[in-house]
Structure 1
Amino acid sequence: MSTISAHLEVNKAYLTEQFSDCSDFVMRSFILMDETQLLLVYLDGMTRLQGVEDNLLKPLLYNGLPQGIDRLQSLTEMFKREWLPLTDVKTDTSFADLVKHVLQGSIGILVNGEASALIAQVQGYETRGIQEPMKEATLRGSKEGFVENIRTNTTLIRRRIIHPLLKMESFTVGTYTQTEVVLTYIKGLANEKVLSEVREKLGKIELDGVIDSAYIEEWLEDSSFSIFPQIQNTERPDIVAASLVEGKLAIMTNGTPFALILPITLWSGLQSADDYFERFIFVIITRMIRYIMTFISFALPAIYVALTTFHPEMVPNYLMIGIATARENTPFPTVIEVFLMMFVFDGLQEAGVHLPNQLGPVVSIIGALVIGQAAVEAGIISTPIIIVISLTGVAAYTIPRYSATLPFRLIRYLMLGISGMLGFVGFAFGIIFLLIHLVSLESFGTPYLSPVAPFDGKRIKDMLIRYPFWMKNGRNKKGRST
């Protein structure tokens, strides 16, 4: 049965079959003054009934169909003339559409003798209020973060970009979840080729369910097996708004507070929102520190192993003597020591992330102190190893985005392995292979290492340093072109 019948009992039987074993499905029958039979169908907890009862049910039950110069014969005609103060109501003749809207929180109104249904969009389920982002907190800037309700998220963007060229296209993905996905961009700034590609991919998604934006992210990426993300996720509406103004695209998924931004480059994950909220002079220094610490986060253990195992002549004699003295009673080779401590450090980090907030920091700090001290006293690990791994871990925390730290955590192990076998020759090969992969990687047509490779002098000014805002458009502070 595909179309709604004019017989109310037939419609009632069909809906009962469709929503069998659904304890939250409600059907309420009413008889109007002129003996017209009315049926309301909705899901308990998903709708806001107060407005429907006040503006529709009570007037109809007590007064019947409102009459003007000519007599009304149907509820459909009444709503077309907008004689009742109930907004967001439309008419539909398809059972599939009726069921879909009821599952999304709307109320279906069926009338005996009319082969159509009125659908009142009065969703009223509980949602989380707007709060400060947990993973991307800033010292200065907006304290608003995305929530699980997609309409709230689109509103946060609309409040920041007040222009009719801000477009929001809606898609429905997921066979069972029927998740709403919104593609957002500024017409005229966004690349039309990228826009067409994303539209095509969103239309071809074939998944049983989409619970989070991560499902969309994996489907859209071209190089799925690369360890580097080609799409950035964020829970900050100000970052999304700034990206849209730069000509990028954003994808918001209902049910998750994380939006997706594309295309991106390697440097996108190394930039913080605070970079644009603090004075540009200090940002230049902090960015240099961040880039150096990023290199340390994956290269320092490998460099230490290569120096102490294969190239001790490159280390000053007094320092090498101290390292050799500290390692005198340790039973394992240097590469095994470093690997064990890195493994333990990552294990403690994962434990701290997944434990409750009250226990996570305690377990991480106490575990690191106790295990590290005990390992040194027992002669299993040497003291320099503790220093190297601690500095490596601290360096990784300077990367602003958690998703950007994951590739470097894996590269750390790969660089350690090849350096443990070949020394600095292996380390050089590892860096070369890493650069080859990054140069060949693209994010929706944008080279991953741009504007460095290929070099773009105009765009590089916002990568290594941050120019003042009044210089970004090629103008001086007084508004004259430069």
Structure 2
Amino acid sequence: MEEDFIVSSSKNNHNDTSQPTSNSTKHLLNPSLAQNIKTIKRAVGNSNDIIIREILIGKSEKQPIAIVYTDGLADKTAITDFIMESLMLDFDEPFESKSEAVNQYLKDTCLPVGDVKDIGDFPTLFNSILNGETVILLDGVTKGIATSTKSSKDRAITEPSTESVIRGPKESFTETLRTNTALIRRKIKNPNLWIKSRVIGKVTQTDIAVMYINGIANEKIVKEVLNRLDSIDIDSILESGYIEALIQDSKYTIFPTIYNSERPDVISAELLEGKVAIFVDGTPFVLIVPALLTSFLQSSEDYYQNFIISSLIRFLRFFGISISLIVPSLYVSITTFHQEMLPTAMLISLASQREGVPFPAFVEALIMEIAFEILREAGLRMPRTIGPAVSIVGTLVIGQAAVEAGIVSAVMVIIVALTAICSFLFPAYGLSNTIRVLRFPLMFLAAGFGLFGVIIGVMALILHLCSLRSFGVPYMSPFAPIIPDDQKDALVLFPRGSLLTRPRLVSKSNTIRGHKHLKNENNN
């Protein structure tokens, strides 16, 4: 059936989409132009956005051809000025006498466009027109011509919405793949910046680009990334989160083992560290592998200001993650089992506040944490004009009303507010979500076993982190294993002149920064 042409192409159409795959050999183009047009219309269900324009070319002997493109994806101006006008005015050769070489003749003399290639089967034809290209079909020829006429309409490059900085570039990625790769090319002007292309998704046929710096990136990691991408068998890829879930090392961990960012300067810095970037068409978030825990606690702004200030801010982030994770469970365990640890004055103050509270400390903390998470999610999902106002007013009103009603104590409202504020210290939103979730099991352990439960939970958490890998690289590096040279850019930030080495476990072929150490390889 012709309807199967769209989904019958190879799921891993690597670099050249013009080559027919093993599945497409049954669906070669027909010499008859009328039959090809009939097949296209039947396969797309006569969809009115698939434009098929039949024209006649040649001045002495008129010959029929068809121009096929997708309305909205292809640039109509380019089609009119550089394809239709050129074919209708410039082609003046006997068609029959050179039917075997007519494609090459058109490409050499009549098509003033950049990217031109031959296509010989229907799967490649549909891939081309659904990617914004224009296909030219000729009567009596079993090969068509695909020309690059993709529309340049896309979202403008704006300021990042999730990774804002005070000092640094104010540009972010868009939903267009080639715009995103161009932003990296503008920052890293080096021929060793290589891109490997993939097409994943049997139905969506989503374009994927794997970018790395040859000579700096670990070749084993690059090969592993490509192998994992090639092993994906799925019908649709709508966002980079699909790729992240399918290629990560451990699928049953709550910690993100693949880093993502919408900032070109962050991705460029990671590439220069020897890591590999994965671009997905249709999303502004780019994936970076391998990912380390320290990457989620570092901001691009750390490198744009004084290293002493940046180090203090990093200490603040590590302190914030501790507060956000364990303070509610510490409150529950101390007030429930270990009151003797508190000073007498503080104990009397807490007891007086909790005098009318009908719930134990654990239930009190659970109610407030769940209420705040509901308010936060509601604020995110509401329209931007009223979302922040509703979340702030709702938090204040509910907190004050709960204290006055005697449902919770005032100190519990303070603790929940403090942990919530600390959860916003992380530059990476994914790690913030992880900490939000982990607070609850630690609170359960604190309610059941006191401080012993909290200690057991923290130890189990550390052991779990030490067991994680991201494309073979230890997740807790450079803390476990301890790598002294990499400590210069981990918990603290050393002066720029001291950062002369790349992470040892990430980049093994070129660990010294400097142009003279970069391989100048031009292998194809």
* Structure-2-length-normalised TM-score: 0.87
Aligned residues: 471
Q: Is the 8 A contact 2:118 2:143 kept in 1?
A: yes
Paired position in structure 1 for 2:268: 241
Paired position in structure 2 for 1:277: 304
Change (3 A) 1:162 1:64: closer
For 1:22 and 1:83, the matched residues in 2 are separated by 29
Paired position in structure 2 for 1:477: none
- Cα distance per residue 1:264-307 (max 9 Å; x no partner): 11111111111111110111111111111110001001111111
Moved more, 239-248 or 14-23: 14-23
CA apart distance, 1:125:
5.9
1:4 to 22, 29, 35: 29
Q: Does 1:163 align with 2:163?
A: no
Give the 3-state SS of the residue equivalent to 2:27 in structure 1.
coil
Paired position in structure 2 for 1:190: 217
Relative contact order (alpha carbons < 8 A, sep ≥ 6): 1 or 2 greater?
2
1:219 to 229, 239, 246: 246
For 1:142 and 1:309, the matched residues in 2 are separated by 49
Unpaired runs of 5+ residues, structure 2, are 1-25, 502-524
CA apart distance, 1:129:
1.0
Q: Map 1:121-200 onto structure 2 (within 5 A).
A: 121-124=148-151, 126-200=153-227
Paired position in structure 2 for 1:356: 383
Q: Aligned letter for 1:320?
A: L
CA apart distance, 1:454:
0.8
CA apart distance, 1:80:
4.3
- Cα distance per residue 1:90-136 (max 9 Å; x no partner): 22222221121011111111111222111111011631111111000
Q: Map 1:17-416 onto structure 2 (within 5 A).
A: 17-32=42-57, 33=59, 34-65=61-92, 75-124=102-151, 126-416=153-443
Q: Does 1:464 align with 2:491?
A: yes
CA apart distance, 1:404:
0.9
Change (3 A) 1:324 1:102: same
Q: Aligned letter for 1:240?
A: I
Paired position in structure 1 for 2:16: none
CA apart distance, 1:21:
3.8
For 1:203 and 1:97, the matched residues in 2 are separated by 19
Q: Is the 8 A contact 1:65 1:75 kept in 2?
A: no
For 1:86 and 1:464, the matched residues in 2 are separated by 52
Q: Is the 8 A contact 1:213 1:260 kept in 2?
A: yes
For 1:86 and 1:435, the matched residues in 2 are separated by 57
For 1:106 and 1:393, the matched residues in 2 are separated by 49
For 2:89 and 2:139, the matched residues in 1 are separated by 18
Give the 3-state SS of the residue equivalent to 2:52 in structure 1.
strand
Q: Is the 8 A contact 1:65 1:72 kept in 2?
A: no
* Structure-1-length-normalised TM-score: 0.95
Q: Does 1:450 align with 2:474?
A: no
Give the 3-state SS of the residue equivalent to 1:459 in structure 2.
helix
Q: Does 1:437 align with 2:437?
A: no
Moved more, 303-312 or 223-232: 303-312
For 1:300 and 1:149, the matched residues in 2 are separated by 43
Paired position in structure 2 for 1:479: none
Give the aligned CA root-mean-square deviation in angstroms: 1.5
Give the 3-state SS of the residue equivalent to 1:137 in structure 2.
coil
Give the 3-state SS of the residue equivalent to 1:170 in structure 2.
strand
Q: Is the 8 A contact 1:231 1:261 kept in 2?
A: yes
% of aligned pairs identical? 37
For 1:60 and 1:460, the matched residues in 2 are separated by 63
- Cα distance per residue 1:173-205 (max 9 Å; x no partner): 001000011111111211122212111110010
Paired position in structure 1 for 2:38: 13
